[in-house]
Chain A
Amino acid sequence: DGGITQSPKYLFRKEGQNVTLSCEQNLNHDAMYWYRQDPGQGLRLIYYSQIVNDFQKGDIAEGYSVSREKKESFPLTVTSAQKNPTAFYLCASSVSGGLDIQYFGAGTRLSVL
């Protein structure tokens, strides 16, 4: 089945620790996105990538980093600089960005120990 796989489903971070969230897609989509969702709020864009080896900051990129070495993979690292990382993180992809439909993974819930 084609789709987007996020792992792990739940993740815990200690103070001062970097953690990496995985996002893999087998839809052959060019564009990939990371969003953060806080309770009662909409989705806020962290980073997006329209092509391999290129990515752009979204609205709340501070304290996060990404890489796009392969078309199917777009991992997100939550660094120790992100002081309030507890949230639900959603990865999405689309054929080529712009007006295309975005398809979402099941999400990773990150909590701070």
Chain B
Amino acid sequence: GDSVTQMEGPVTLSEEAFLTINCTYTATGYPSLFWYVQYPGEGLQLLLKATKADDKGSNKGFEATYRKETTSFHLEKGSVQVSDSAVYFCALSSNTGNQFYFGTGTSLTVIP
């Protein structure tokens, strides 16, 4: 079945460091891919999305490219800030069903 595998955390970075959070997926159809962010005690917010191969989603300095050949959707940011501290979830929605599939989440802490 469809699934998402995300790199395990927690990840701790200094402010202005480069961030990569790896995400790979398994899907039978042509999924859309998403990154969501969750701040402490809150629900999930959509960070960015990509709906087809080679699409790049971007928002707030974060980017991720839909790579069909490597079945990946890695999240990157060139210079993280303390305010980026949160849990990040990779997700896919499959056109063969009606579900989203979420990764286990990666906790990011950015220290000044």
Contact = CB atoms under 8 A, between A and B. Distances in A.
Contacts, number: 59
Interface in B12-68: 31-32, 34, 36, 41-46, 49, 51
Contacts of B36: 104
A105 B43 contact: yes
A42 B105 contact: yes
Contacts of A41: 104-105
A102 B99 CA distance: 10
Interface residues of B, number: 25
B103 A42 contact: yes
Contacts of A105: 43
A48 to B, nearest CB: 7
A93 to B, nearest CB: 11
Contact of A98 (B89, B95, B102): B95
A101 interface: yes
A41 B89 CA distance: 10
A50 to B, nearest CB: 6
A68 B20 CA distance: 40
Contact of A31 (B46, B89, B98): B98
A48 B32 CA distance: 19
15 contacts: A42-B6, A42-B103, A43-B44, A48-B98, A56-B98, A97-B98, A98-B95, A98-B98, A99-B51, A101-B34, A104-B43, A105-B43, A107-B42, A107-B43, A109-B41
Interface of A: 4, 6, 31, 33, 40-43, 45, 48, 50, 56, 58, 90, 92, 97-107, 109
